[in-house]
Structure 1
Amino acid sequence: MAGEKWDRRQRRTRAAVFGAFSELLAEKPYDRITIQEIIDQANVGRSTFYMHFGTKDDLLRALCGGLFDHIIGSALDRTHTHGLYPDGGRPVSIFCHILAHLQENDGNILSLLSGESNDLFLKDFRNGIKKVIRERFFGEGEVEELSGVPGDFLVNHIAGSFIEMVRWWLENGMVQTPEELDGYFRAVMAPLLEAPPSPPPR
C-alpha cells in the first residue's frame, strides 16, 4: 500500500512538472525558461524536481518522449484516434494522422517546433518521423536504395521535408487542414516513395 501511494505521488509530481513546463512553453522560448520558473509554476521543491530530472534538457527529453511515443505509436498502429476524426473515419495517410495530432498541440509541442534554439527537440522529432517512414514504407530490416539513392539518405530527406513543412504550416498560421497539408506533402513525395528499384549493375 505504501508503495502504491509513493508511486501515485511520483506520478502526480511528474504530471505537475510537465504541466507547468508546457504552460511556460506557451509563453516563452525554451531557452528563456528557468528551472526556478518551472518549480514555482508546478509548486514543487527544487530537490523534488531534481529527484526526477537532472537538467532542463532531461525534462524536455522526458516530455518529448511521452508525446512522441503517443503520436508516433498511434500513427503506426492506427488504433487511437482520441476524437481527432469526428466522422469516425481514419485518414489513409500516416502523415495526415501525425498532422492531426500536432494540430491538437498536446504539451504545447507546436511551441517547440516553431521556437528557436530547439535543436534537442528537433533531433528527437526527426528520429521519430524517420522511424515512422522506415516502418510504414520500407518494413523491417535495412532500407534499400531506390533509383540509385541510398535508403538512409531517402528516409532522412523525407523526414526533414516533413518537419520543414510543419514549420511552414505554423509560420503561415496553420490555415490548411491536416488533410490539405497531407495532400501537398504526398504529391511532392510520391515520386520518391513510388520510384522503381534501381536496375542491377551490369
Structure 2
Amino acid sequence: MAEQDRRVRRTRRVLRDALFELIFEKGYDRVTVQDVLDRADVGRSTFYAHYRDKEALLLAAFDELSAELRYEFDARAPGADPTVPAEAVFRFAYDRRPAFRALCGKRGGEVVQRHLHRLLTDLLTEHLRLDAPAPPVPADLVAEFCTSATLGLLGWAIDNDFPHDADWLAATYRRLAEPGLTALLADHA
C-alpha cells in the first residue's frame, strides 16, 4: 500500500512539475493535456486516473501550495504587524521560485491569478483580524488592498526574474504600505 501511495505522489509531482515548466514556457492558456503528457512522459489513462483536465491538475497543484502557505500564516501571530502577511508570501514565493514563475508571472493565466487572489484575500482577512465591529474602512477593502499590493510586487519580482531577495521585497512593501495600514489598524483598535 505504501508503495502505491509513493507511486501516486510521484506521478502527481511529475505531472505538476511538467505543467509548471510548460506554463512558464508557453503560458497556461497555450498548454494542452498532451503537452503535459509528453513532458511528464505519462500516458493519457494515467493522467485521467488522477485529474479530469488541465485545470484540475492546476488546482490540485495550487491546493498543495495553498496548504503550505496557510501553514506559514498560521505560524505567525495574527494582527500584530500588518505587513507580516506580505512578508510571509514573499519568502514563501522565493523559496518556490519555479512554481511561482509559472503561476504568478505574465504567463500564469487568469485561472491562477483568480485562485491566488482569493486565497491571499482570505488569509489576510484572517490574519489582520478585520472582522471586529465597525472598522473605519471595510475589512474586505483592506484585504483587497493588501492582496493587490502583495501580488503586484510579487508579479513585478517574477516578471523581472527575481532581481532582489525576499527581504528587499518585504522592506519595499513595508515602506509603501505600513504607514497607512498601521494608522488604519490603530483607528480600528
Q: Are 1:109 and 2:100 an aligned pair?
A: yes
Q: 1:107 Cα shift?
A: 4.9
| Residues 18 and 40 in structure 2, CA contact (< 8 A), matched pair in contact too | yes
Identity %: 24
Distance 1:58 1:171, change over 3 A: same
SS of 1:146's partner is coil
| Equivalent residue, structure 1, for 2:128 | 137
| Residues 16 and 42 in structure 1, CA contact (< 8 A), matched pair in contact too | yes
Q: How far, CA to CA, are the matches of 2:134 and 2:139 in structure 1?
A: 4
| Residues 125 and 140 in structure 2, CA contact (< 8 A), matched pair in contact too | no
State how many pairs are aligned: 181
Q: Are 1:17 and 2:15 an aligned pair?
A: yes
Q: 1:138 Cα shift?
A: 0.9
Comparing both chains, which one has the higher relative contact order based on Cα–Cα distances under 8 Å and sequence gaps of 6 or more? 2
Amino acid across the alignment from 1:34? T
Amino acid across the alignment from 2:39? Q
Q: After alignment, is 54-63 or 14-23 more displaced?
A: 14-23
Q: How far, CA to CA, are the matches of 1:106 and 1:60 in structure 2?
A: 16
Whose Rg is larger?
1
Could you say which structure has the higher helix fraction? 2
TM-score (norm 1): 0.77
Q: How far, CA to CA, are the matches of 1:15 and 1:173 in structure 2?
A: 24
Q: How far, CA to CA, are the matches of 2:98 and 2:161 in structure 1?
A: 19
| Equivalent residue, structure 1, for 2:86 | 95
Q: 1:30 Cα shift?
A: 1.2
Q: After alignment, is 189-198 or 65-74 more displaced?
A: 189-198
Q: Which runs of 5+ in 1 are unaligned?
A: 79-91
Q: 1:57 Cα shift?
A: 0.6
Cα root mean square deviation, aligned? 2.5
| Residues 25 and 108 in structure 1, CA contact (< 8 A), matched pair in contact too | no
Distance 1:128 1:36, change over 3 A: same
Distance 1:24 1:173, change over 3 A: closer
Q: How far, CA to CA, are the matches of 2:44 and 2:159 in structure 1?
A: 36
Residues 16-165 of structure 1 correspond to what in structure 2 (within 5 A)?
16-77=14-75, 93-116=84-107, 118-138=109-129, 142=131, 144-147=133-136, 149-165=137-153
Q: Are 1:167 and 2:155 an aligned pair?
A: yes
Q: How far, CA to CA, are the matches of 2:164 and 2:13 in structure 1?
A: 32
Q: 1:106 Cα shift?
A: 4.9
TM-score (norm 2): 0.82
| Residues 134 and 143 in structure 1, CA contact (< 8 A), matched pair in contact too | no
Distance 1:144 1:110, change over 3 A: farther
Q: Which runs of 5+ in 2 are unaligned?
A: 77-82
Q: 1:110 Cα shift?
A: 1.7
Q: How far, CA to CA, are the matches of 1:42 and 1:55 in structure 2?
A: 15
Distance 1:116 1:185, change over 3 A: same
Give CA-to-partner distance per residue, 1:45-81, whole Å, 9 cap, x none.
1111111111101111011111121133223315xxx
SS of 1:27's partner is helix
| Residues 150 and 173 in structure 2, CA contact (< 8 A), matched pair in contact too | yes
Amino acid across the alignment from 1:124? H
Q: 1:112 Cα shift?
A: 2.2
